[in-house]
């Protein structure tokens, strides 16, 4: 079963959590460049998602994490205590459909947030599209701030990474990633609750570029939960919209 990665939690809990680059349940720590790009996105009623800076004030996340108006916020952990940076604008891709997503079908699950100010101690990561054709076994890295176990708040707000590989029949609408050691047969690493919108990196000459965002997960053998499949929306069809929207907000990508 596809598992929604949105997390509802008391906002104060997230705000007080201190970021760290240690990994729990994963086999590799994110590089400094990856970790500095990843941010915690807060929505109404304490809904938690992951986002990635693609410009100093532009956050890429999942379309289903975008809320009406300017109610999204990003946590600035450099402040003592941590503070929330407000959004000036937010937009989901015009072809995104929540109904389609909830029906477990691929949709344009990408969105952007324009912040009122840059996030201190953070830096943008470059944007790209996956190498074509996308082939089974191709390697990607997912970096998010979600929970370390389904149904738990443990680890929310801490940047972690997981090295995953493509399985099934990937395309421009959707990729399914899996822990290469467990292959969805038993619990492995991957996106979990709170990792909606997490950036998916592809290595280009030793540097990571963002080529997709996380949309959903399953437990092992396609059960409900985490540790099975990680569903990704590639940016292949949506990068032009991202660039155009960001430039319309005055950001250069």
Q: For tokens 């997709």, what's the residue?
A: 212
Q: Over 70: is that where the pLDDT of 26 sits?
A: no
Q: Three-state SS for 232?
A: strand
Taking alpha carbons only, the member of 128, 216, 162, 116 closest to residue 23 is 162
Taking alpha carbons only, the member of 155, 204, 186, 217 closest to residue 17 is 155
Confidence label for 3 from pLDDT (cuts 50, 70 and 90): low
H or E segment at 101? helix 98-102
Q: Three-state SS for 247?
A: helix
What does the pLDDT read at residue 224?
87
- What number is the average pLDDT over the span 170-196? 93
Residues 6+ apart with CB under 8 A from 35: 21, 29, 143, 159, 161
Rg (CA), the chain: 16
Write the pLDDT tens digit of every residue in 63-96: 999 987 889 999 999 999 999 999 999 999 999 9
Q: Is the backbone of residue 237 left (phi > 0), alpha (psi -120 to 50) or beta?
A: alpha
pTM: 0.91
Taking alpha carbons only, the member of 237, 198, 209, 242 closest to residue 92 is 242
Are the CB atoms for 214 and 176 separated by under 8 Å? Answer: no
Q: What is the CATH number of domain 1-253?
A: 2.40.10.10
- What number is the average pLDDT over the span 37-54? 93
What does the pLDDT read at residue 12?
36
Q: Over 90: is that where the pLDDT of 24 sits?
A: no
What does the pLDDT read at residue 25?
44
**CA dist., res. 222 & res. 121, Å (int):** 38
**Domain definitions of the chain by residue range:** 1-253
Q: Over 50: is that where the pLDDT of 186 sits?
A: yes
Are the CB atoms for 212 and 106 separated by under 8 Å? Answer: no
For strands 7-8 and 47-55, give the pairing.
antiparallel
Tell me which of 141-150, 159-168, 243-252 is least confident.
Answer: 141-150
Q: Over 90: is that where the pLDDT of 253 sits?
A: no
- What number is the average pLDDT over the span 223-230? 90
Strand partners, 140: 164
């Amino acid at each position: 079963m596809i598992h929604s990665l949105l997390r509802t939690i008391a906002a104060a809990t997230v705000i007080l959590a201190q970021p760290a680059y240690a990994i729990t349940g994963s086999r590799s720590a994110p590089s400094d460049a990856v970790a500095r790009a990843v941010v915690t996105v807060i929505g109404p009623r304490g809904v938690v998602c992951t986002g990635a800076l693609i410009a100093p004030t532009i956050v890429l996340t999942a379309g289903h994490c975008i809320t009406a108006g300017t109610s999204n916020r990003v946590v600035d952990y450099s402040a003592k205590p941590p503070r929330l940076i407000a959004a000036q604008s937010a937009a989901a891709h015009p072809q995104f459909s929540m109904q389609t997503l909830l029906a477990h079908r691929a949709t344009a699950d990408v969105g952007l947030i324009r912040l009122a100010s840059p996030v201190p101690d953070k830096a943008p990561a470059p944007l790209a599209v996956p190498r074509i054709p996308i082939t089974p076994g191709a390697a990607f890295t997912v970096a998010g701030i979600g929970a370390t176990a389904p149904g738990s708040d443990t680890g929310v707000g801490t940047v972690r990474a997981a090295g995953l590989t493509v399985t099934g029949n990937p395309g421009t609408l959707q990729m399914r990633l899996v822990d290469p050691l467990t292959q969805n047969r038993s619990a492995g690493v991957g996106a979990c609750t709170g990792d909606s919108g997490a950036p998916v990196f592809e290595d280009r000459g030793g540097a990571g570029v963002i080529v997709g965002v996380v949309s959903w997960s399953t437990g092992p053998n396609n059960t409900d939960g985490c540790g099975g499949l990680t569903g990704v929306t590639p940016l292949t069809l949506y990068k032009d919209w991202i660039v155009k929207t960001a430039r319309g907000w005055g950001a250069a990508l």
